[in-house]
Amino acid sequence: MTTPLPFDDRDGLIWLDGAFVPWREARLHVLTHGLHYGGGVFEGMRVYGGRIFRLAEHSRRLAASARELGFALPFEPAELDRAAEELVERAGIADGYVRPVAWRGSEQLSVSGAGTSVHVAVAAWEWPNVFSSAAQERGIALGTSKWRRPAPDTAPVRAKAASLYNICTLARDAAEADGYDDALLLDYRGYLAEATGANLFLVVDGALHTPLADVFLDGITRQTVIALAGEAGIAVHEGHLPPEALERAQEVFLTGTAYEVQPVRAVDGRPYEVGPVTRALADAYARLVRGAL
Ligand SMILES: Cc1ncc(COP(=O)(O)O)c(C=O)c1O
> Distance (Å, rounded) from C-alpha 183 to C-alpha 171?
6
Nearest CA to ligand 1 atom 16: 197
pLDDT at 2: 60
Q: How far is the CA of 244 from the centre of ligand 1 (A)?
A: 24
Annotated catalytic residue within 61, 158, 160, 222? 160
**Distance from the alpha carbon of residue 221 to the mean position of ligand 1, in angstroms:** 8
Reading the chain (293 residues) residue by residue, the pLDDT tens digits are 467 789 999 999 999 999 999 999 999 999 999 999 999 999 999 999 999 999 999 999 999 999 999 999 999 999 999 999 999 999 999 999 999 999 999 999 999 999 999 999 999 999 867 788 888 889 999 999 999 999 999 999 999 999 999 999 999 999 999 999 999 999 999 999 999 999 999 999 999 999 999 999 999 999 999 999 999 999 999 999 999 999 999 999 999 999 999 999 999 999 999 999 999 999 999 999 988 44
Asked whether the beta carbons of 237 and 209 are under 8 A apart, the reply is yes
How many other CB atoms sit within 10 Å of the CB of residue 179? 8
Question: Residue 4: what pLDDT?
Answer: 79
Q: How far is the CA of 255 from the centre of ligand 1 (A)?
A: 8
Contacts 24+ apart (CB under 8 A), 154-158: 154/188, 156/65, 156/68, 156/69, 157/215, 157/216, 158/64, 158/65, 158/68, 158/216, 158/217, 158/218
Residue 146 a catalytic site member: no
Residue 156 CA to ligand 1 center (angstroms) comes to 15
- Indicate the top mutation candidate among 149, 217, 259, 281 to test ligand 1's pocket, ranked by most ligand atoms within 8 A of CB: 217
Q: Which residues neighbour 290 within 8 Å (Cβ) at sequence distance 6 or greater?
A: 48, 49
For 232, phi then psi, to 5°, come to: -90, 5
The model's pLDDT over 16-48, given as tens digits with 9 standing for 90+, comes to 999 999 999 999 999 999 999 999 999 999 999
| Residues composing the chain | 293
DSSP assignment letter at 161: B
State the pLDDT at residue 293.
Answer: 43
Taking a C-beta distance cutoff of 8 angstroms, is the pair 271, 249 a contact?
A: no
Q: Residue 94: its pLDDT value, please?
A: 95
**How many other β-carbons are positioned within 10 Å of the β-carbon of residue 53?**
23
- At residue 52's C-alpha, the angle toward residues 81 and 121, to 5°, is 45
Ligand 1 atom with the smallest distance to the CA of 61 is 10
- List ligand 1's pocket residues with C-beta within 6 A: 44, 168, 194, 197-199, 217, 219-222, 255-257
98 pairs with which residues across the strands? Answer: 45, 124
Whole-number Å distance, alpha carbon 111 to ligand 1 midpoint, is: 28
C-alpha–C-alpha distance, residues 92 and 50, integer Å: 7
Please tell me the residue having the least CA distance from ligand 1 atom 15: 197
Q: What is the pLDDT of residue 112?
A: 96
Secondary structure element (H or E) that encloses residue 285, with its range:
helix 276-291
Protein residue with its CA nearest to atom 1 in ligand 1: 197
- Domains, the chain, in order of start with CATH, read 13-126 (3.30.470.10), 133-291 (3.20.10.10)
The type of residue at 85 is E
Of the residues 130, 147, 199, which should be mutated to test ligand 1's pocket, given the most ligand atoms within 8 Å of the CB? Answer: 199
DSSP states of 30-99 = SS-HHHHH--EEE--EEEETTEETTHHHHHHHHHHHHHHTT---SS-HHHHHHHHHHHHHHHT-SSEEEE
- Residue located nearest, by CA, to atom 13 of ligand 1: 197
